[in-house]
Structure 1
Amino acid sequence: MTGDGRDHAFMARALQLGRRGFYTTDPNPRVGCVIVRGDEIIGEGWHERAGGPHAEVAALRDAGDATGATAYVTLEPCCHHGRTPPCTDALLEARIARVVVAVKDPNPGVAGEGMAKLVAAGVDVECGILEGEARALNPGFMQRMQIGRPFVRSKIA
């Protein structure tokens, strides 16, 4: 596989994992993460429930030693303390060499700062792989963060 094709394939797997968080992560976004060394997936994770470990932390735990590996994440890693520590810190502690992000986090508390923190620490960061699919994974979260209103569906019969 070419680098670009490989990036798309691994990000597609991360999106697949992120879908496992349907109905359990609210108000947090659904996020999937794949840790790859060479052409082999060495760790996978997704955000299973609000307040629980984020996808990056779950994937790093699954991977064990992730030194020099690449992380494929469907949403920019968080860089702030909430109910869990920052995912950027976990990625840096694991000595990840490269992070591929599907979509920048629209949350004003992150909004590019997670990627900037990784770049400042010497991590190679790319953003925009399968961005449309990643946005579609979290329509409510995206709308709430971008325009401040909830995503509402209604059916009139």
Structure 2
Amino acid sequence: MGEFSTADYRYMARAIQLAKRGLYTTDPNPRVGCVMVHFDGSAEGSIVGEGYHVRAGEPHAEIHALKAAGSAAQGATAYVTLEPCSHTGRTGPCAVALAQAGVARVVVAMGDPNPQVSGGGIEYLKAAGIQVQVGLLEADARALNPGF
């Protein structure tokens, strides 16, 4: 799991808060939140973009956060409540988008139990040279999507 900083906890809590906005609108997809943070030598960092999965078939949380961050995504840390998808469904794979944007680190609350993803997003990110940590506030993330 690795060690997480106080800032990591704060930003993941914000991602969980964002994910809750998708209540009743994301079905059959899970509720997911994402916060993009630039640290620039500071232990506290600053949010450069954030998003959540609003509706099934529309862009995922990571895509909204990347769009909000723009070029500031380069070298940023992404806090995501669910492992980024690695397959193409109605939208493109979020793991690929994060890598293409130049994100340096991804902190994931929980792995995706969906067999189409199930570790594939994490492996893709690692293979792209991105630092990945999993398990921060996992119980809170699981509570977002009971039965998922």
Question: Normalising to structure 1: TM-score of the pair?
Answer: 0.87
The match for 1:60 is: 66
SS at match of 2:118: coil
Q: State yes or no: 1:100 paired with 2:111.
A: no
Q: Tell me by how many angstroms 1:112 deviates.
A: 0.6
The match for 1:22 is: 23
Q: Tell me by how many angstroms 1:4 deviates.
A: 1.4
Corresponding letter in the other structure for 1:138: N
Larger Cα-atom Rg: 1
Structure 1 moving runs of 4+ over 4 Å: none
Name which of 41, 50, 53 aligns with 2:47: 41
Contact 2:4–2:136 (CA under 8 A) maintained in structure 1: no
The 5-angstrom pairing of residues 1-150 of structure 1 reads 4-38=5-39, 39-65=45-71, 66-140=73-147, 142=148
Structure 1 gaps of 5+ residues are: 143-157
Could you list the per-position Cα deviations for residues 101-133 of structure 1 after superposition, in whole angstroms to 9, with x for gaps in the alignment?
000000011111100010011000000000000
Q: Which has the higher contact order (CA 8 A, sep 6+)?
A: 2
Q: Distance in 2 between matches of 1:118 and 1:21?
A: 25
Q: Distance in 2 between matches of 1:3 and 1:62?
A: 25
Q: Distance in 2 between matches of 1:63 and 1:43?
A: 4
Q: Distance in 2 between matches of 1:56 and 1:133?
A: 19
Percent identity, please.
62
Which deviates more, 23-32 or 2-11?
A: 2-11
SS at match of 1:64: helix
Could you list the per-position Cα deviations for residues 83-106 of structure 1 after superposition, in whole angstroms to 9, with x for gaps in the alignment?
000001110110000000000000
Corresponding letter in the other structure for 1:91: L
Structure 2 gaps of 5+ residues are: 40-44
Q: Distance in 2 between matches of 1:56 and 1:100?
A: 12
| TM-aligned CA distance change 1:3 to 1:101, over 3 Å | closer
RMSD: 1.1
Corresponding letter in the other structure for 1:72: Y
Q: Tell me by how many angstroms 1:50 deviates.
A: 0.2
SS at match of 2:5: helix
